[in-house]
Structures are given as C-alpha cells and as structure tokens.
Amino acid sequence: MDPTKQPTSSQQPSILIVEDEEGPRESIKMVLSPYFNLITVDSAEVALEVLKRRPIDLITLDLKLPGQQGIDLLQTIRQQDRDIEVIIITGYGTLQSAMEAIRHGVAAYILKPFNVSELLAVVDQTFERRRRMTSLQGSLQAFGNLWAGETNPQAAIKNIETLLEAKSPELAQHAHRVNFYASLLAEHLQLSLEEKENIQLGSYLHDIGKLSLHDRLVSAHVPQSEQNQELIKCHPVMGEKMIQALPFPQSVTQILRSHHERYDGTGFPDGLVGEDIPFLARVVGLANQFDHLVVGQNEPPIPIPEAREYIRREAGKGIDPALADLFAKVVW
C-alpha cells in the first residue's frame, strides 16, 4: 500500500516506522499497533514523502537504510521540523553513534535485538515527556509577561521552548542535549521518581536565565570579553528569579541556581564546595559541562572519548568524583 495513504485513526498519536528489514519492522508493528497509528516505510526517501503529506508525532528510525542513511534523514528532518520525536532503533550502534544522534536531538536510542517491553516503555516515556513539556509550557504561558521586554513579545507569550528557540536555536538544542545526558545519568542513580522528574525539568530549564541576556551574549561560538563573561555569569541567578513565582519544587530552582558551581568551590554564583552543592545541580552541571565539551562552546569541540577523559580528570576539581566515576561507566 502507498505509505502516504495508510489509514489512521485521529484519536491516537501517529508513529512513522522507518525500517528496511522485515523482521524488526514486524516486531515494532506488533508492539505498537494496539496503541498508535502506524505508518511503515523502508527508505529515507519514502519517509520524507510521508512527512510532507501528513502529521507525524514520532519516528522510529533505523540508521542503516538502503540509499540515504538514517543519520542524514535525521538531519533533514531536524532542518524541517524540530518538534518531531525521533527514536533510533539500530543493530549497529555504539554509544558514540548514539551520542552523535543525540546531537541531532533524538529522544532515545535502542539497540537491536530489543525487547518488546523496552520499546513500548521508551515510546511511552517519550510521549509522557512531551505531555509534561506541553503542560509546563501551558503554565509558563500564564506567566508569559515575566519575559516581556528583553525578548520578542510574541515569543514571550508562546512557551518556554519557543522562547529558547527565539533567543538562540543553540540554546534550545543545548537544553535538549543536557536533558538527555542528565537523564542518562539519573537512570543509573538511586533516585526517587520525583527526583528524576526534577532532573528532567531542571536540566531542560537550567539556562533560561540566558533569556535575560543580550542576544550577542548568548551565542555559544562568539568569544566574549571579560566584562561580557561577568554578565553571562548572572544567568543562574536570573534563571532562579524567573521561575521563583512558579510552582516548581525547590530542587528545580536549585538546579537553575547551582549548575555552574564546582566541586572544589571555584564555581559561581555562590562558590559552594562539595556536598554543599545540591546533588541534582551537580548532576545537571556535569551534563552541562560534557555538552559544552563535545559541542564546543568557547573552545573547538572535542571527540567524545576525549571529553570522557576530561571529565575523569576533573573528578574532585570541577566535578563530584562519584559522579565523574559513574559518568565514565555510563559513557564508554
């Protein structure tokens, strides 16, 4: 059947399955068909045709395809639509290729052979996160006037994601990636569900204080004068102020304020030392540092293995040694 015309029910979210091998394609279909509208295609080219013609909420993407490769398709999708959720399902993955995919903003990465409940759980989590973000955006809309003035007023009343995008797409992408790395770490820590949710939220919001900075201070790749660096250093406190009126748990607020503290006390804004830095802020701070290393903020980007080594060397200096240790185990 023509994949652009496969029938759907309007009640359920639509998932586009991009998979050329019949076996995995059939198992993905089997797992997801009771809950979602599914459209299946076997190449990147047909996937793009489908995306042009109908709304899709989520894509499961095989990286190894005939013709155009999955990673190129991902890049094209991101140029056209930043919103669509993408889950990579691949038989050829390494954590390194996963990290590359994460740079392009994928929601998750699953290795074949996958188990049925794992896939369903990941898809559910992705939609759940999206729902949470939508309700967060809703509650922030109510406080949209908080951001009037510094930012474009139209963007200010839309939502936080649009705000970040409007300020700088780099800022929005950075928020997504830090959210991913922090969530990856959180999965390996003994945390309550509430703490995990606070990490999700805090990692996503950690840099919103930058909305209060002048645009030219926000671009990650522009070298900044010493004076400007001092201005940029205000963003943790500004971020905390921006959400003060909102009903966020204290630990989310702490993530915003303390994600630039360093374990040895040389960070900012408070110069907190070691365990005095709120734990969730330490987790998000590490994710933030890692992202700056591999994407390149003030310095050129470095490869993932080098960034991993850097994190290891920073144990006890900039980074909580226990977290640096865990990070080295999670990112291999």
Residues lying near Fe ion in the complex (CB under 5 A) are found at: 207
Residue 124: its H or E element: helix 116-141
d(CA 195, CA 210) in angstroms, rounded, equals: 24
**How near is the Cβ of 98 to Fe ion at its closest, in Å?**
24
**How near is the Cβ of 195 to Fe ion at its closest, in Å?**
20
d(CA 326, CA 50) in angstroms, rounded, equals: 41
Nearer to Fe ion, 207 or 314 (CB): 207
Nearer to Fe ion, 60 or 258 (CB): 258
Nearer to Fe ion, 62 or 291 (CB): 291
Nearer to Fe ion, 268 or 310 (CB): 268
Q: What are phi and psi of 130, to 5 degrees?
A: -65, -40
**How near is the Cβ of 330 to Fe ion at its closest, in Å?**
21
Nearer to Fe ion, 71 or 319 (CB): 319
37 with 9: CB under 8 angstroms? yes
**How near is the Cβ of 33 to Fe ion at its closest, in Å?**
42
Q: What are phi and psi of 247, to 5 degrees?
A: -80, 60
Residue nearest to Fe ion (CB): 207
**How near is the Cβ of 174 to Fe ion at its closest, in Å?**
9
Q: What are residue 267's DSSP bridge partners?
A: none
Residues in the chain: 332
Which string of b and e fits 141-168 if b means at least 16 CB within 10 Å?
Answer: eeebebbeeebeeebbbbbbbbbbbbbb
